[in-house]
Every structure is written in C-alpha cells, then in structure tokens.
Structure 1
Amino acid sequence: MPLQVSDYSWQQTKTAVFLSLPLKGVCVRDADVFCTENYLKVNFPPFLFEAFLYAPIDDASSKAKIGNDTVVFTLYKKEAAMWETLSLTGVNKEMLQKIREKSILQAQERAKEAIEAKAAAKREDQKYTLDAMMKIEEEERKKIEDMKESERIKATKELEAWKECQRKAEEQKRIQREEKLHQKETQMEEERKNLKHKSLPRNSSRYLATEGIMITLIFSGKVSPFGETSFSFQWLHKQAEARRAMNTDIPELCDLKEEEKNPEWLKDKGNKLFATENYLAAINAYNLAIRLNNKIPLLYLNRAACHLKLKNLHKAIEDSSKALELLTPPVTDNANARMKAHVRRGTAFCQLELYVEGLQDYEAALKIDPSNKIIQNDAEKIRTVIQGTELKS
C-alpha cells in the first residue's frame, strides 16, 4: 500500500496554480508524473500523491520541474478564477475512480494520436525523400545513358571507319595477289605452249618444277603430253581460293592485318583507347582479343575496368571473377593483377549496394597487399556504411 503524501504546498493566481511537492529523499529518475486536465498523480515509491483538481487545467501547456528533492508544478487554468481548494472534496470514492479511469483513457488516446501523427509525418518525410532521390537518380541515369549512347555512336563510327580502311587495304592486296597469280599462270601457259612444239621420245618423262610443285609430264601416243600440267594449275587455283577463305570463322579477322590478329597487339590497342577515355572502343578491342585467345587474364581485368567506368556493374563483376579464375595458382608474379581484380569486383559490388560482398573482396585485396593505404581507407569506409545500415535497421 503506497503512502499518501499530504505535506505539499500550493499557491494560485486567477490563471495559474503553483504546486510544490517534496520527494522525500527519492531519486529523481524514480519519480513518475501523470497529468491530465482533471487529474494529477506523482508516484515515487513508496510514496504516492494524487489530486483530483478543483477545475480543469490546460495540461498541454502546464509544466513540471524536478530538482532539489522537490517537484514544482505550474498548472495553467482553463478558466480564469480562484479555486477554493486544490482537490475536489465531498466526492465519493466511486466518482473519484471514474475520474481517474477517464483521465487514464484520455491520456492513452492522446498518446495514440501523437504516435499516429508522428508515424504519418515520418511516412510523409520518407515519401518526399524517396521521391526526391528517385528524381535525382532518374536524372543521373538519363545523363549517363545519353553519355553512353554518344560514346557508343562515336566508337562505332570510328571502328567502322577503321574496318572500312582495313577492308580496302586488304581488297587492294587481294587484287594484287590475284594479278600476280594470273601473271604466273600466263607465264606458265606460255612455257607449256613452247614445250608443246618440242620433239620428245615416246614413253619418256620430264619433270617441270614451278614454285616448289613437281609436275610430271608423261608422254604416250594416246595421252595429251600436258594434260597433267593443266590439271595442276586448276588445283593451284583452288588452293589459293582456300587460303583466301581462311579465318572466315571469325568475320572480324577477314579485314585485319596480320599484326592486328595478335591478342597482345589488341590488348595494347585497348589500353591506349582506355587512356583516352574511349571505353566502348576499348571494350571492342578486348572482345576481339578474347575471341582470339580467351586464356589471357589481363584482357578480362582491363575490360572489367571499362565496364566500371560505364557503370556496367554486373559485367564488371563477371570479368573480374573470370580474371581471378585464370590467375591461378596464386603466385608472386600475379599478385598485383589478383589485387586489382578483387578491388574492381569489390567496387562493383559496393556500387550495387552489396556492401558485405564488396568488403570481402577488399579484405582479400588487403591480404595480398596489407600496406596499401588506399585500400585500407576504402575498406574502412565500407565497414562504416555496413555498420550504419545495421544500426538503421
């Protein structure tokens, strides 16, 4: 049974009531104050103070100050008048209980309304923030897409012009080769005609060597002396056509020079294009090099860097993973390449907001190069983002 406090003091004006209530040595944080327009309660075990106020007050503007083992209330009256007493008198316990219950219900309703209003305001703020972020992201995405499209068109035109130039050069070479072959065939035809008029013994043989090919001429009474030679020229022509048809499985190679069919040359070409920020053209060079040799890890690693620049994040992850797959076993010679692959894949993960996966790659890079300050700082930033996300959740 709590002990009722009766040694309080109060004063009033027409508009306010000033109530001073001793806490009797109880810690301030243990005091529980409850106030409505008709009811005031202060609970500080084992003591209890209750007041069923003489007239309604404005509980929203009323104040309580706790300090020096005392609670001082400033209660503002709803109607300006002098009270005869602080608390109602001559009221039975049943009526007081109803006032108490009604006050508690009113307080609960106001608390519920305040919570709902706060939640509604929070939802509105979140909606506004989300709309603003989506608008900004859409503008950025549109800007990036326009830039990518412009770069793609520019790179495509440059590549088409380059391919057209190479095609014309190759076509010129092909015409020159055909003319040279035609000249040789004409020369050999003249030699055949000259030999036709020479007298040769029956059942004899002669060997004619032309460009390393041995042609046997067998003469008899029924067989044409130069039938074999004519057949061999047709075979040579077919061989030339077959050589021209080589590399047709890779159409891009048909119009390239011999040095341009070298993956290392294409890799260097892609690196130079990357240095000039022509990322789409660099990707095209790396793509062709990979078609020629798909076992060179630096091709995938460099193409991943291009995809990062163009925000092709999933492709950057794929290429970094392929580079790491090829950079096995892990040895000192490929340590730098493995570190770059982890950092680029980790960067792509973080830009996709997959911070845990990104941190794993940065930590793997730190195992390879523990003294790298830049990677250390980036890893610490990612940890901070992860911790902030967890706290927010």
Structure 2
Amino acid sequence: MPLIVTDYSWTQTDSTVCISVPLKGGKVEKVNILSTDEYLKVHYPPYLFEAFLFELVDDDRSTAKVGNGIAVISLQKRTNKVWKHLMMTTNDKEKKKVRERALLKYQEKLSSESRSKAEKQHAEKKYALETMMKLEKEERDSILKIKHNEREKTTAEMAAWQLRRKQKVEEEAQLKLQSQRDNQDILKTMTEEQENGCSEGGMVKLDQRGNSDAKSKRKQAQLPAPRLVGNIQVTFTPRVFPTALRESRVPEEEEWLKKQAEGRRAVNADVEELKDLREEERNPDWLKDKGDKCFATGDYLGAVNAYNLAIRLNRQIPALYSNRAACHLKLNNVHKAIEDSSQALALLTPPVVVNAAARARANVRRGSAFCQLQLYAEGLQDYQAALKIDPCNEALQADIQKIKDIIQGTGPNPETQ
C-alpha cells in the first residue's frame, strides 16, 4: 500500500490553483504526475498524493515543476471564482469512477500525441524522400544533358572533319587535272615543233637529257620563282596549370590567381588596434600555421582565436574560414560552422583544379554540420558535391549511403542513439 501524502499546501486566485507537494527525499526522475480536468495524482514510491478537484480545470494550460525537494502544480481554473475547498467530498465509489475516467483521458491523450508524432515523422520522411528523388532526377538530367552536349559536339567535329577531307580531295583532284592538262599542252607543243623542224630539213639541237632547247626554255619559264629566305616566328601559349588543352579553363584559372593575389595584399584591420602586435602576428600566413598547430593539439579555442585575427588581417583567404569551420564542428558550434563553410565556398570561385581539394573539404564540413542539425537533405547535397570533385573517395561514398539510409528510415537515427 502506498503512503498517502497529507502535508501538502495549496493557494488560489480567481483563475489559478497552486498545489505544493513535498517529495520527502524522492528522486526527480522517479516522480510521476498525472493530471486531468478533474483529477490530479503525484506518485513517487512509496508516497502517493491524489486530489479529486472541487471544480473543473483547464488541463492543457496547467503546468508542473519538480525540483528542490518539492513538486509545484499550477492548475488553470475554467471559471474565475474562489473555491471553498481544494477537493470535493465524495465516497470511494465515486472516487474510483473519477480515477478511471482520468486514466482513460490520459491514455487517450498519450495515444493522440503518439499518432501526431507518427504523422509528423511520416511527413518528414516523405519530404526527405521526395527531396532525394528530386536530387537524383536533377543529377540524371544533368548527366543526360552532358551526354547530349558531348554527342552534339562529337557530331559537329566529325562533320567538320568530313568537310575538310572532302575539300582536300577536291583540291587534289583539281591539281591532278591541271597537271594532266599542262603535260598535254607541252606534248602538243613538242609535236608541232618536231613537225616544223622536219619539214624545213633542219636538225633540232638536243641537250644532254634528250630534250629540245625550246622545251627546256619553256619548262624553265613555267617553274615558280625561288622562295624568299626568312625566319618564321613561333610562339607558344603559356600554361600555368597541367590541364589538357581541350579541357582548359584558362579564364577561370587566371581569375582565381588574380583573386588570390588581391587577397594576399588586402589588409582590412585597423592600424591602431594592431600596433601592439608583434611583426609575425601581423602575418595571416603565420597566424594560419599557428591555428593549424593548435587544432592538431586539440586546442580548438586557441585555433579559433588565431583564425579570427588572421581573418581580420585578410578576409580573402578561404582556408581560414574552412579551418575555423572545422574548429566550430569540434566545439559543437554548428551554425557558425555552416556560415564559415559557406564563406569559404564563396571565396573558392571560380572552381578550378587548384582549389578542388579545398572545395571538397568545405562541402564535407558544411554537410556534416547540416546532418548534426538533422537537415539530412541539405547535408546530402554537400556530400554529393564533394563526391563529384573526388569520385573515388570511398569514405565519402560510405557517408552518403549512411545519410540516404537515415532519410529512407532504414538506417540508425542519431537522435535515438
């Protein structure tokens, strides 16, 4: 049999009833409070407090606080008036009916909350699944578009090559035909000269090769003039990056180098605020190395301070924001990690080969932060962007599969672990 608590106290106003129940050494986690519009129970083994309320209350607006060895229950009255008593006087049979009604209402409330929670989870899973399907469709459409463009490009190149080949064949045929016509003209001229020479009874003087002087002179007259002597200037396009010519992105690469050079020269900090710093502490590269060393030793706050000062000196270095995002992830500052990763990705434009690894790291860090906020659809986008840059990374492939399993509801949810 439980021990009935009798040393409770209560106060009231026109709209509120406040009941204080001593816990008598009971632990907070073991206190069970059940409240309806006409019944209140506070159970902490082996003690029990029951109140069959004098009037009906609004259970949805009532509150309960447990702590410091006491449970305080604040009940909102349905009608603004002063109660004569806290509890109604009735027999055990009536109390039993009230208790059963209260328990039934409480079970219905729990069932309704469970259904609402299940419907909400179902809606979230449905939204996540639709988002993932949309992303996959966009990825398929992008792949098909790339294939279509490559096919059209290849077809155009083949047509251009066939046209050039046809033109070359026609030119060769014309040259060959012209050569045959020239030979026929020469042969005709020689025949006429021989006939004229024989009719006059003269002898035709032949050169050492057996050709007539007239034929030799005619051939010499038809030969083109010798080529002029000169030098041909050959220049080569300078290449900064080891990229194949057909895959070259020279304008983007030059713009990236220009932005990096401008960022190195930019100093945005106030001179008055930095006059007490040592010479090396005014160098963003030195501060970045210091932050990297602090991060490696586990001093994440020290690393954040070093990166903060370096960013004040130069706000155009993306590695400072990306590394500070890694520190915020370690310190559970998830929103700050998302902001720094986004700033790093904004500075890592245009996307070129040189900044590919940095873009992949920034995407992974922002995707990890989104997943910690349970925004798995957004996190999946960043992880897939990183995998596009480094498609052979097995760790990224495994992480993407885990996120997809969580979205589909087939993987372990970090919230329940």
Please, what TM-score do these two structures have when normalized by structure 1?
Answer: 0.45
**Greater RCO, 1 or 2 (C-alpha within 8 Å, sep 6+):** 2
Please, what TM-score do these two structures have when normalized by structure 2?
Answer: 0.42
